[in-house]
Amino acid sequence: MSKIKDILSEIGYSNIIDNGKEYRMRPIYRDSGNNTSLKVDKSSGSFIDFSANIKGPFSELIKLTLNLKSSKEAQKWISGKGISIENKSFDQKPEINHQRTYSLEYLEKLEPIHNYWIKRGIPLDVIKLFRGGVAGTGRMKGRYVFPIFNSSKSIVGFSGRDLLASKSSDYSRPKWKHYGEKAKWKYPLHVNYREIKERKKVILVESIGDMLALWNAGYKHSLVIFGVDASIEVINVLLKVDPDKIFICLNNDRENSNAGNVAAEKIQFKLRKYFDAHQIKIKLPTKNDFGDMSKEEITNWANG
């Protein structure tokens, strides 16, 4: 057992989960029912409390847990246990690279043609909220492109829905195309984070089209995972929000490939490392996806 884990056990942490390069546990210095909200790095002891948005070096965690007066007192306590940890500030040791951002001028290149979504029943005021448009040139040509914003309202990528879809068997363009580091996207938190925090519920969906259909039906607390897996960034958002319920709502592919159904079960298994079983529920659309459902059908689905 590592020295850091020994100390964590000594000061009262129990049910410490070994999660590769880190430990996960419930923060005992505040009221919390989440058994994985606190992350502690195995090598340095640096920590992140996702729900409380607190982070820092190991000495700060000791200070919080033992209710000590200062970090210096906490460092002295650690030294007395025969462990030496370089006390760099958390921000001096970044673990991930900064995302690339794109100029807002890219939005000026998108043509404000919203017919595709209007025909699918999405009102213009909802469409404009997400600042998308049709790309007339470039790698997204022929697609309705949504800019992906981060919490600072900077553009970190683009997601484009194909508008040239054909029923031809040799048609190979994917329905959705993404540009940027989608594993780091947390969309559309720039417009619905408060809604998610207040409702304490999150709906995980595959695409922006699903999100728009739900939004139009009055359900604005969804997160788009851009595929069939939940990234670490999405999981970190869920840990910070600590929702009462997480609904996994991938496409209902039961009549075709069954890919969405299988993927939903994999995400459920993945999330159970971080959340209690009662917090997670697979709740597939009653049709292939939410875009195929009317507002009434979505309401019935939500109440079912």
Please give the pLDDT value at position 50: 85
For 193-224, how does the pLDDT look when each residue is reduced to its tens digit (9 = 90+)? 999 999 999 999 999 999 999 999 999 999 99
Q: Does domain 100-181 have CATH number 3.90.980.10?
A: yes
Question: What per-residue confidence (pLDDT) applies to 255?
Answer: 61
- pLDDT at position 254 is 66
CA dihedral 90, 96, 102, 103 (to 10 degrees): 10
- pLDDT score of 200: 95
Residues 6+ apart with CB under 8 A from 32: 26, 51, 242
**Domain 186-304 listed as CATH 3.40.50.850:** no
Q: Name the CATH code of domain 3-92 (choices 3.30.70, 3.90.580, 1.25.10, 3.90.920).
A: 3.90.580
Are the beta carbons of 272 and 280 closer than 8 angstroms? yes
Give pLDDT tens digits for 30-40: 888 788 889 99
- What span, in angstroms and rounded, lies between the C-alpha atoms of 248 and 189? 17
Those residues with Cβ within 8 angstroms of residue 73's Cβ, 6 or more apart along the chain or in another chain: 63
Domain boundaries, the chain: 3-92, 100-181, 186-304
Q: Which residues of the chain carry a pLDDT beneath 50? A: 1, 86-96, 167-170
pTM of the model: 0.73
CB 157 within 8 A of CB 180: yes
pLDDT of residue 126: 96
